[in-house]
Amino acid sequence: MENRKIKWGIVGLGNIASQFASDLLLIENAELTAVASRDFSKAEQFGEKFNALRMYNSYDLLFEDPEVEIVYIATPHNSHAELSIKALENGKHVLCEKPMTLSYKDAERIIEASKKHNKFFMEAFWTRFIPSVQDVLHKINNGAIGNVNYIKADFAFYGSETENKRLFDAELGGGALFDIGVYPLFISYILLGNPKEIFASAIKHKNNIDLQTSMILQYESAQSVLHASIVSDSDMKAVISGTEGRIELNAPWFVADGYSLFKNEEKEAVFTLPTLGKGYSYEIIECQNCILNNQIESEFWSHQNCLDLSKIVEEVKSQIGLTF
């Protein structure tokens, strides 16, 4: 495999992009080549903070930059599909922040564009690559807790309508399901696959976004009980129970720094697995390895995985009556 610097561009320079860029600095063979914001002063400030070589006031200009190899898209949800496709059409690899789209149809369009232009695409489910989740998946696949038959996972916090307007903005794809509900659905999917049935219910805001959504995913011999809220709190542990024990991922489970293994109701072992940086570093490394190996998808979070999860989210969206 080649050993050279991979040249990154970032579009959409909010809080998540800042966390991502700080982790990018930790990766030896990664370079932040360009950043773009429609507010040029924001691009300048961001670029200076994270040592970007170039700053743009247009996403198109970044897509046209011949040196940029891969673009990290961290704009609001409603723009993910069009920007991902435009970047792919301009010959760029793409890492798109989750959720990759607000509809299954758009998810299909992105994957088609990735294949058509032979460029790497991955939805940025960083949780898939953190050490705790990798280790838990390995143990479960090797029978550490028998057959998984129950999962409980929450993602909930008190959101402020005044401080985080995007979160409550229907135009931008706000609400609990698409912003954070995708995480509990994700952990159920990677452990149990596609469900046989989905049951979902939500409490809505006056503008029709979901403030909190509860979901039950029914499998042949397992259930996942999942919840997302932007108006309440939870312990944010994830519990994975099997026929021979259970695993509890530390809170917040989606970036867990370890987990506990229980057998016969007793805590048998505690595993500590801190992340490098904030935890985005592992998806960065995966993207770079795929590019250097001329892959257009990751075997750990593949195109099909992206489509499967998008279809699950689409069913929940339909059941709770979300429209964008």
- Enumerate residues 6+ apart whose C-beta is below 8 A from 98: 123, 124, 125, 182
Tell me the pLDDT band of 2, cut-offs 50, 70 and 90: low
- Enumerate residues 6+ apart whose C-beta is below 8 A from 56: 34, 35, 36, 37, 40, 43, 62, 65
Kindly report which listed range (167-176, 275-284, 309-318) carries the lowest average pLDDT score: 167-176
Model-wide pTM > 0.95: yes
18 sits in which H/E element: helix 15-24
Residue 164: predicted pLDDT: 86
Residue 1: predicted pLDDT: 46
Question: How far is the C-alpha of 9 from the C-alpha of 22, rounded, in Å?
Answer: 14
Angle at 186 between CA 179 and CA 318, to 5 degrees: 60
151-168: pLDDT as tens digits:
999 999 999 988 888 899
Average pLDDT over residues 92-102: 98
CA distances to 162, 256, 257 from 72, in Å = 27, 23, 25
Q: For residue 144, is pLDDT > 60?
A: yes
Question: How far is the C-alpha of 269 from the C-alpha of 251, rounded, in Å?
Answer: 17
Q: For residue 67, is pLDDT > 70?
A: yes
Residue 3: predicted pLDDT: 73
220-254: pLDDT as tens digits:
999 999 999 999 999 999 999 999 999 999 999 99
Question: How far is the C-alpha of 196 from the C-alpha of 65, rounded, in Å?
Answer: 45
